[in-house]
Amino acid sequence: MVQEMLVKGILSLILTVPAVLYSPIGESLGFHVMPPFGLSMEVFGFLLTTPVILWGGSLFTRSAWEALKHQEANMMTLIALGIWVSYLYSVAATFLFKGEVFYEAAAMLTTFSIAGHWLEMRARFSTGKAVEALLNLVPETARVVRGHQEFTVPLSEVKPGNTLVVKPGDRIPVDGQVTSGESYVDESMITGEPVPVLKKGGDTVAGGTVNKDGSFHMQAQKVGSDTALANIVRMVQDAQGSHAPAQRLADTAGRYLVYVALLAGLITFTVWMLLTGNVVFALTAAVSTIVITCPDALALATPTAITVGMGRAAREGVLFKTATHLENTATLNTVVFDKTGTLTEGKPSLTRVVALKGSEDEVLRLAASVDQHSDHPLARAIVEGAQAKNLPLLEASGFQNISGFGVEARLEGGTVRVGNVDLMLRASIPLQNTARMAEEASLQGETVMYVARGQHLIGLLGVSDQVRPEARRAVQELHRLGIKTVMLTGDSEHTARAVARQVGIDQVIAGVKPDQKRGRIQDLLHKDRKVAMVGDGINDAPALATATVGIAIGTGTDVAIETAGVVLLQDNPAAVPVAIRLARAVKGKIVQNLFWAAIYNVLAIPVAAGVLYPSLGLLLKPEWAALLMSISTVTVTLNAISLNRVQIKKA
């Protein structure tokens, strides 16, 4: 479609140039050559202009006709009306009666309109192609292991569960998990991060990324349209086709402006006919008014910026699911972070064992025997701590996961509980004199877990999750953007504040159960805050859905990613300020475009209608009206394209 428009534009221009030269405009420029073959200037203008109108302007004519059949009027209606009124009047003045013609106006109007639409389509097309080009990163074949042999097969034959071999320099064919071997993988085309990432057994890899220097075996998990790369492309395309609130407002204004243009053209023609009785003069002013009022720039102000902005965001590793989410992100003044896995590494390790009864190893062994049935990160840290000491774990029965409190199970005839202080209080277990020990651990950023056997507290465990090195830089960048930062966590107040001090968080909301997170977000919203919730877990999903904008870290759960309005492909909180800067840049371009489009129409309509003619003798010709209309459209488009050059500072 873009190529077809370009061809039409070039051929129309080739015919328009002589049409202009062999017209009063050409004479005013000093071109005084008679048309060839003894043709009159009027007939020669007719021959040059007719193919431009019928073929070059067919897009506008067809669109206007379709609108007319539905009893509607749109931008194309105005362009087509301006073209055909100029052309048909000139044809009548050539063959039916002798009068002034303006074929050059019809030809220039058509050519300039084609040029404006070509630039707009090219901006959209190039952005779309840049995103779709990601799909071409996937290789056409894959190396599949069958038995003990390796076969090269078409990518379409790869099924989930297949074992694949990936060699140095290969593009990884599908999403999957490394089963043996290790290598550094370049994931920059998906995450935007230029530094290769080490992948070893158990790590996931994405189709389309590049294996750098080692060989490994992987198990295919997601293929075809289910891969991360395909989902990214689909998400961006859906977002580019969505409508932001500003766009809906512009579309409504544009529809009314079409009727304003038609009415203004009719009034202009009537007034000048009554004042001058000169049909050519009145028609010139009317056509100019209709053409220059065309709300093309107004209609393109938002969607062009959205389209370019979505493409730029995807290249930065940020996916906005809809244009509304993008626009809402630009308004944020508060960002709420979940602690574990967002501000911290999400890989806690055992750092403290305190035995109140028995030995430290016995306390750890009992706790790990219960926690081995849990998939909570804190539970895994305790189990890994026991395994590091080669402690034999016991068989547990009656395991229960008590959300927001901890776990319990039966071991050797007794109930063992592992959890927070609320779990102990809930079971009426005396805490003895543990407050000072728990506070000491919390002040060092450790999460304290209590271990009880029966109704007796037998020990405390300290688990620490390292703060991400980039978390502090991300928070500093948000502060520079004028955004308040909040940490929402189920940890104790002491532990939460220790982490908050390290990263510079403004406000801490601690001791929050999973089912209470949504309520805390609502509290902030009720204070007239525009709130983003950043999380990665299933228990974050209700809060993500409640916030002004939910932001999911790309390595998070499917539920979190599905619920959020913004997905960060990088497992990195530093991408949050990047997303906000991008959204603000796009919104800025939208405001600039809408302002330009509005000012243009306010100033252009009276000039085209001939308001300045009595005092200055200035009457805008239709061809110059078309040029101004096209310049307005091109200005809006180029302003949107400039988003590709906006500096987005990464924390």
Whether residues 552 and 502 fall in one domain: yes
* Residue 433 scores a pLDDT above 80: yes
506: left (phi over 0), alpha (psi -120 to 50) or beta: alpha
Residue 618 confidence class, pLDDT cut points 50, 70, 90: confident
Any residues with CB less than 8 A from the CB of 168 and at least 6 apart, and which? 183, 211, 212, 213, 214, 215
How would DSSP label each residue in 200-251?
-TT-EE-TT-EE-S--EEEEEEE-GGGSHHHHHHHHHHHHHTS--HHHHHHH
Nearest-CA neighbor of 326 among 551, 28, 147, 563?
551
Specify the pLDDT at position 242: 55
Mean of pLDDT over the chain:
84
Whether residues 513 and 602 fall in one domain: no
Helices (H), 294-417: 296-315, 323-329, 360-371, 377-388
Q: How many CB atoms lie within 10 A of CB 117?
A: 24
**Measuring CA to CA, how many Å separate 58 from each of 73, 104, 105, 451, 629?**
17, 17, 17, 79, 19
Q: How many CB atoms lie within 10 A of CB 647?
A: 7
Choosing from 163, 198, 224, the residue where a domain stops is 224
How would DSSP label each residue in 468-535?
PTTHHHHHHHHHHTT-EEEEE-SS-HHHHHHHHHHHT-SEEE-S--GGGHHHHHHHHHHTT--EEEEE
Domain that holds residue 303: 227-314+587-650
Query: Which uninterrupted H or E stretch holds 604?
Result: helix 575-608
Residue 641 confidence class, pLDDT cut points 50, 70, 90: confident
**Dihedral angle sign, alpha carbons of residues 125, 129, 132, 134:** negative
d(C-alpha 197, C-alpha 188), whole Å: 10
Question: Out of 152-161, 271-280, 537-546, 587-596, which region has the weakest mean confidence (pLDDT)?
Answer: 537-546
Any residues with CB less than 8 A from the CB of 206 and at least 6 apart, and which? 172, 175, 187, 190, 227, 228, 229
Q: How many CB atoms lie within 10 A of CB 449?
A: 27
Whether residues 11 and 121 fall in one domain: yes
CATH label of the domain that carries residue 324: 3.40.50.1000
Whether residues 578 and 473 fall in one domain: yes
Whether residues 203 and 255 fall in one domain: no
Specify the pLDDT at position 412: 81
Strand pairing class (456-464; 210-211): unpaired
Higher pLDDT, 401 or 230: 401
Any residues with CB less than 8 A from the CB of 308 and at least 6 apart, and which? 123, 127, 640, 641, 643, 644
Strand order in the sheet with 149-154: 149-154, 141-146, 163-166, 216-222, 175-181, 204-205
Contact in structure between 641 and 123 (CB atoms under 8 Å):
yes
Whether residues 368 and 445 fall in one domain: yes
Amino acid letter, residue 572: N
Q: Which two tokens stand for residue 337?
A: 């972070």
Whether residues 454 and 391 fall in one domain: yes
Report the domain count for the chain: 5
Residue 251 is among the residues annotated as catalytic for this protein: no
Contact in structure between 211 and 172 (CB atoms under 8 Å):
yes
Residue 499 confidence class, pLDDT cut points 50, 70, 90: confident
Residue 131 confidence class, pLDDT cut points 50, 70, 90: low
Contact in structure between 228 and 175 (CB atoms under 8 Å):
yes
Whether residues 423 and 458 fall in one domain: yes
334 has which bridge partners? Answer: 484, 531
d(C-alpha 601, C-alpha 256), whole Å: 13
**Dihedral angle sign, alpha carbons of residues 565, 567, 571, 576:** negative
Report pLDDT digits (tens) over 451-480.
999 999 999 999 888 888 889 999 999 999
Specify the pLDDT at position 651: 44
Specify the pLDDT at position 480: 94
Specify the pLDDT at position 532: 93
* Residue 557 scores a pLDDT above 60: no
201 has which bridge partners? Answer: none
Higher pLDDT, 632 or 523: 523
Report pLDDT digits (tens) over 376-417.
888 999 999 999 999 999 999 999 988 778 999 999 878 999
Report pLDDT digits (tens) over 261-287.
788 889 999 999 999 888 888 888 888
Nearest-CA neighbor of 284 among 632, 613, 631?
613
Which residue's structure tokens are 């574990």?
Answer: 340
User: How much is the average pLDDT of 344-372?
Assistant: 91
User: How much is the average pLDDT of 110-134?
Assistant: 68
Higher pLDDT, 634 or 383: 383
Identify the DSSP state of 426.
H
Q: How many CB atoms lie within 10 A of CB 32?
A: 7
Nearest-CA neighbor of 97 among 39, 42, 49, 23?
42
Specify the pLDDT at position 123: 62
**Measuring CA to CA, how many Å separate 107 from each of 7, 621, 622?**
16, 13, 10
CATH label of the domain that carries residue 200: 2.70.150.10
> What's the half-sphere exposure (Cβ side, CA atoms, 13 Å) at 53?
23
Q: Which two tokens stand for residue 91?
A: 């044809």
Whether residues 45 and 102 fall in one domain: yes
Choosing from 174, 195, 224, the residue where a domain stops is 224
d(C-alpha 490, C-alpha 340), whole Å: 9
Whether residues 331 and 193 fall in one domain: no
Specify the pLDDT at position 52: 93
* Residue 236 scores a pLDDT above 70: no
**Triad 65, 71, 77: Cα angle to 5°:** 45
457 has which bridge partners? Answer: 452
Catalytic residue among 338, 371, 536, 571: 338
pTM, two decimals, is 0.68
Nearest-CA neighbor of 510 among 501, 502, 520, 522?
520
Higher pLDDT, 410 or 90: 410
CA 470 to chain centre: 22
* Residue 562 scores a pLDDT above 50: yes
Whether residues 17 and 129 fall in one domain: yes
Contact in structure between 55 and 8 (CB atoms under 8 Å):
yes
d(C-alpha 109, C-alpha 94), whole Å: 20
Report pLDDT digits (tens) over 12-21.
889 988 888 8
Choosing from 424, 440, 466, the residue where a domain stops is 466
Whether residues 26 and 129 fall in one domain: yes
CATH label of the domain that carries residue 391: 3.40.1110.10
User: How much is the average pLDDT of 600-622?
Assistant: 82
Query: Nearest 10 degrees: CA dihedral of 211, 217, 218, 220?
Result: 100
Contact in structure between 411 and 369 (CB atoms under 8 Å):
yes
d(C-alpha 278, C-alpha 283), whole Å: 9
Specify the pLDDT at position 113: 78
